[in-house]
Structure 1
Amino acid sequence: MDRLAMAGVLVALVAIVGGYAIEGGGISALFHFPAFVIVIGGSFGAVMLQTPSTYFVSGLKMFGQVWNKPKLDFYQTQKMISRWSDIARQKGFLALEDDLNTVEDPFIRKGLTYLIDGVDTDVIRHSLELDIELESDRQYRSARIYEALGGYSPTIGIIGAVLGLIQAMANIDDPSALGHGIATAFVATIYGVGGANLLFIPIAQKLQSQIDNEVLLKEMVIEGILFAANGENPQSIERRLEAYTRASV
């Protein structure tokens, strides 16, 4: 679990709700189901309209990564490639076939297969870089649904505010109905702006940083495999790949 992400949400909520309570506000007034339906339902509806279903579903599935980030072990990958290079130098590339079944990551397995088959280095680079480009593009498009939610929710919040004021004006002679409409107006605005800046936009940025980190690992794999294909010294490969490990997050 990503404790920093969880702590960030809690700190933001406690700061805002706590500050409101310190000023004498009633916390229960912040819970308003009609305003929630207007803002969240309207925002998701707009995003569903603009997003292809494949990317929308994929983006929803990525929500869990915000709290449980993918495990990307740069150090172990660096050591693994260095070991492959050592085996290849001593026994040849075909000796790496035993390692092929132990590799779970399909991208790394594909690179190792190219290495074993003696594929030209230019072909290896082009093929693997194309895989990175296409996969990262798919992931970025999926993650952008949260960025879109962050863009739409403040505007939908304003729509909710206007609807609440319409209700208030329509019942101006009824104090209880008037207060209910005004509450909807202000709470909808809070939900829209708060949801965008405390949840949707941070989630989008978090997912994009995770995708960047995954791309960095794959780039390290490409360089390591090309180094091994060129018969470079395993210790030299390991030292040159350390830069990727230091740049990882």
Structure 2
Amino acid sequence: MDLTTLLGLILGLGAIVGGYLMDGGHLSSLIIPSAALIVFGGTFGAVAAGFPGHVLKSIPQALGIAFKQTKRDSSKNIEEIVDMATVARREGVLALEQRAQEHPNPFLKDGLLMVVDGTDPELTRQILELEMDAVEHKVEGMAKVFEAAGGYAPTMGIIGTVMGLIHVLGNLDDPGTLGPAIAVAFTATLYGVMSANVIYLPIANKIKIRAKEQIAEMELMLEGILALQAGENPQLIKKKLTSFVSDKKATKNQPEEGALEGEEK
């Protein structure tokens, strides 16, 4: 499990509730079933209305991506590809068939099998790039579900607050109940804003980060497969893939152009 996701949610919710309690608030005042029904039920309903069924069915998988720690070892992938390139140069690509059939990574498995079958390199690239696009599109769709929920939730909170205030204004005969009733009404806004910014949007962001990591891994494998297919020297393949990973990290850590211009000014 990715503890950063879980700890982040706990820390965010705990800070909000803890700050409220420090000011003398009571936890029972935050538990309003009617407000929760309006905000969470309305948000889920809006999301269901806005996305097709096959996307909604992927929500459990999306949560798994956000909460599950996926180990990605670029160095191990590079060493494995270099080892296979060495075998291919010494014994031919057909010697990789059994190894390709048993490989646990479906993307690398497909690429190796195409190499063994003698598929044209350009066609191999096109097919694997289409697979990458499909994965990216699918994961982006998962993230958009939570982004949409993060957009709907505050609005549902406002709706719940307005409905509560309507109820308050309709019962002005008893001024002593106005304060508590208004507080209950604004709880809906709290639910909406809190759930959007502490739950839905952070999860969407984590899913998008995971997608970028997966695509980067697939890009490395693609370059390795094509180099292996071209019969390149294993040491040159290792150098190329290692520099490929280094370039990715450098690009990721490089300041934005606007920031550099700002420093120069």
Partner Cα distance (2:244, 2:12) in 1: 33
Task: State TM-score, norm by structure 2.
Answer: 0.88
Task: Output the amino acid matched with 2:21.
Answer: A
Partner Cα distance (1:67, 1:120) in 2: 39
Q: State the match for 1:72 in structure 2.
A: 72
Q: Which runs of 5+ in 2 are unaligned?
A: 253-265
- The Cα offsets for residues 106-161 of structure 1, whole Å up to 9 and x where unpaired, read as 21111010111121211111110011112211221122100000000000100000
Partner Cα distance (2:70, 2:163) in 1: 42
**Aligned-residue offset at 1:169:** 1.8
Partner Cα distance (1:171, 1:63) in 2: 43
Task: Output the amino acid matched with 1:107.
Answer: F
Q: State the match for 1:36 in structure 2.
A: 36
Q: State the match for 2:26 in structure 1.
A: 26
Matched, 1:207 2:216: no
Q: State the match for 1:132 in structure 2.
A: 132
Partner Cα distance (2:180, 2:50) in 1: 33
Task: Output the amino acid matched with 1:21.
Answer: L
Partner Cα distance (2:70, 2:176) in 1: 50
Task: Output the amino acid matched with 2:30.
Answer: L
Partner Cα distance (1:104, 1:9) in 2: 33
**Aligned-residue offset at 1:101:** 2.8
Match of 2:58, SS state, is: helix
Task: State TM-score, norm by structure 1.
Answer: 0.93
CA RMSD across the alignment: 1.9
Q: Structure 1 residues 106-115 or 175-184, which shifts more?
A: 175-184
Matched, 1:94 2:94: yes
Matched, 1:81 2:81: yes
Partner Cα distance (1:87, 1:2) in 2: 37
Q: Structure 1 residues 9-18 or 156-165, which shifts more?
A: 9-18
Partner Cα distance (2:176, 2:94) in 1: 80
- The Cα offsets for residues 3-46 of structure 1, whole Å up to 9 and x where unpaired, read as 11122112212222111111111122112111111101101111
> Sequence identity of aligned pairs in percent?
39
Tell whether the 8 Å contact from 2:58 to 2:142 is kept in structure 1 after alignment. yes
- The Cα offsets for residues 180-209 of structure 1, whole Å up to 9 and x where unpaired, read as 642331110001001111110111010011
Q: How does 1:160-199 map to 2 (within 5 A)?
A: 160-174=160-174, 178=178, 181-199=181-199
**Aligned-residue offset at 1:177:** 6.1
Matched, 1:123 2:120: no
Q: Structure 1 residues 74-83 or 64-73, which shifts more?
A: 64-73
Partner Cα distance (2:99, 2:133) in 1: 26
Q: How many pairs were matched up? A: 249
Runs of at least 4 residues off by over 6 Å: none
Task: Output the amino acid matched with 1:228.
Answer: L
Task: Output the amino acid matched with 1:226.
Answer: L
Tell whether the 8 Å contact from 1:132 to 1:215 is kept in structure 2 after alignment. yes
